[in-house]
Amino acid sequence: MKKLLLVLTILTTYAGFSQMSLDKDFQQIESKVIEWRRHFHQNPELSNREFKTAEKIAKHLKSLGIEVQTGVAHTGVVGILEGTKSGKVLALRADIDALPVTERNDLAYKSNAKSTFIGEKVGVMHACGHDTHTAILMGVAEVLSKNKDKINGTIKFIFQPAEEGPPPGEEGGAKLMIKEGVLENPKVDAIFGLHINSGTEVGVIKYKEGGIMAAVERFVIKVKGKQTHGSQPWSGVDPIYISSKIIDGFQSIISRESKLIDEAAVITVGKITSGVRFNIIPESAEMIGTVRTLDSDMRELIIRRMKEMASTIAKAYGGEATIDFESFTNITYNDPELVQQMLPSIKKVAGDANVQLVKATTGGEDFSYYQETVPGFYFFLGGMTPGNTKAFPHHTPDFKIDDSGLLLGVKTLTEMSLDYLNN
């Protein structure tokens, strides 16, 4: 009994000490994190093209005396910080890529960047908050590098490119980082990550044990018809009309065949390309979209039915259709034991009332690939101004994050890291 009381006393003392002794570091880092975030927001780069972003990250880590590896999975940066005592190896991950979205905000640090994506000229914007993730992890690295004496073990800072998916024909993202050994040398025991959320108030952290984000597939459908004059549709086969019927059919898979009381599922067609003139029925059409699932059996059913339906519907209207799938992520699965181990650390920083259990989301994350190899914990960080009634979704031109929420991300990942390695 005396031994147990002694252990509890030590842990309680350590918890209080770690928070109080880091307060000054946290105060000093907040303005830097906001400055970094705004720089990245104003200078976004697309997946596998994050050259200047990686350069700035590497320069910062090197200035802290952290061992740095560059060029991992094309543009990824990995920092290795060894504590003064031996112990486990913990990885912390941030994604660094932006999206082909033209920003519509009036921010002083608004992005006016342009690039080319799949052959098209596009605006580039951090429309998912990866700029905040990068800045937060840079802040965590600085705080922890100043407190090596409090670290029992090693911390790997993983700045990952191409979370949104590499360009067609290229490898990238978490899959390639793992393939190139990011979880080895030294071997990682666990990994933590966070995602800013535009619809969650600043100061709030949301989590879930088990599956928290969906498996994501990208699909491409090629429809073949028969070209003819727009005034004589009976003399051809209209691939645009067939495409509309395929889309309509896919939604019946969700509404009539998927057991949505178990888990959510989504089929979305995000792009259709066909035709050149108003008065020509074209020869072909192409559709690109995504499937989101939170259950492996449901995933298998939906993909099988989509393959059957695309071909059958096209044939029924006199055409042909092929469909190909590419897996982008698996289910983001939070290890239940790790979640329970780390919840006290999160509540210690954010406060019990601000740590909320949520249902799974149909968004996807390639953080899931790390979790297939080592236990992982991924959670959501509030980025919405308190009292805001109109938060714009991620991946939209009006997406906006309140910078006042970033420091909680730094504090939480720092505290989780110290508690995991030291307790």
pLDDT value at position 328?
A: 87
**Domain co-membership, 241 together with 210:** no
Instruction: Give whole-number Cα distances, 301 to 24, 84, 202, 332, in Å.
Output: 54, 52, 39, 20
420 in Cβ contact with 342 (< 8 Å): yes
Distance of CA 247 to the CA centre of its chain: 27
How are the residues of the chain apportioned to helix, strand and coil, as percentages rounded to the nearest 5? 40, 30, 30
87 in Cβ contact with 79 (< 8 Å): no
In a domain, 219, yes or no: no
**Domain co-membership, 86 together with 18:** yes
Do the bridges between strand 152-160 and strand 85-95 make them parallel or antiparallel, or are there none, so unpaired?
parallel
**Domain co-membership, 36 together with 103:** yes
**Domain co-membership, 302 together with 392:** no
**Domain co-membership, 91 together with 176:** yes
Among this protein's residues, is 25 annotated catalytic? no
Its sign, for the CA torsion 262, 263, 264, 267, is: negative
In a domain, 123, yes or no: yes
Among this protein's residues, is 97 annotated catalytic? yes
In a domain, 325, yes or no: no
Query: What token pair was written down for 237?
Result: 């086969």
In a domain, 112, yes or no: yes
Domain end position, chosen among 297, 318, 339? 318
**Domain co-membership, 91 together with 11:** yes
- How many whole angstroms separate alpha carbon 187 and alpha carbon 37? 30
- How many whole angstroms separate alpha carbon 21 and alpha carbon 134? 24
pLDDT value at position 10?
A: 45
pLDDT value at position 321?
A: 98
CATH for 236: 3.30.70.360
Q: Specify the length of the chain in residues.
A: 423
Q: Which of 95, 103, 163, 366 is catalytic?
A: 163
pLDDT value at position 387?
A: 92
- How many whole angstroms separate alpha carbon 66 and alpha carbon 28? 19
Helices 406-422 and 336-350: crossing angle in degrees, nearest 10, is: 130
3-class DSSP state for residue 255? helix
In a domain, 221, yes or no: no
**Domain co-membership, 160 together with 23:** yes
- How many whole angstroms separate alpha carbon 4 and alpha carbon 286? 66
Low-confidence ranges of the chain (pLDDT < 70): 1-20
In a domain, 220, yes or no: no
pLDDT value at position 16?
A: 46
CATH for 26: 3.40.630.10
pLDDT value at position 398?
A: 98
Do the bridges between strand 76-82 and strand 67-72 make them parallel or antiparallel, or are there none, so unpaired?
antiparallel
3-class DSSP state for residue 104? coil
Q: What is the CA radius of gyration of the chain?
A: 24
**Domain co-membership, 206 together with 298:** no
Domain end position, chosen among 294, 318, 342? 318
**Domain co-membership, 166 together with 28:** yes
In a domain, 25, yes or no: yes
Query: What token pair was written down for 64?
Result: 């802290």
- How many whole angstroms separate alpha carbon 238 and alpha carbon 230? 10
Closest of 73, 85, 79 to residue 49, by C-alpha = 73
Q: Which residues span the domain enclosing 238?
A: 226-318
**Domain co-membership, 133 together with 37:** yes
- How many whole angstroms separate alpha carbon 101 and alpha carbon 124? 5
Q: What is the domain count for the chain?
A: 2
Domain end position, chosen among 255, 288, 318? 318
- The reply to whether omega before 186 is within 30° of 0 (cis) is yes
- How many whole angstroms separate alpha carbon 164 and alpha carbon 367? 11
**Domain co-membership, 307 together with 338:** no
- How many whole angstroms separate alpha carbon 377 and alpha carbon 208? 9
**Domain co-membership, 56 together with 7:** yes
406 in Cβ contact with 37 (< 8 Å): yes
Its sign, for the CA torsion 292, 296, 297, 301, is: positive
What DSSP line would sit under 284-333, residue for residue? EEEEEEEEEESSHHHHHHHHHHHHHHHHHHHHHTT-EEEEEEEEEE--EE
- How many whole angstroms separate alpha carbon 420 and alpha carbon 423? 6
- How many whole angstroms separate alpha carbon 391 and alpha carbon 162? 25
In a domain, 337, yes or no: yes
- How many whole angstroms separate alpha carbon 188 and alpha carbon 182? 9
Give the position of tokens 């590896």.
69
Q: Which of 97, 217, 366, 415 is catalytic?
A: 97
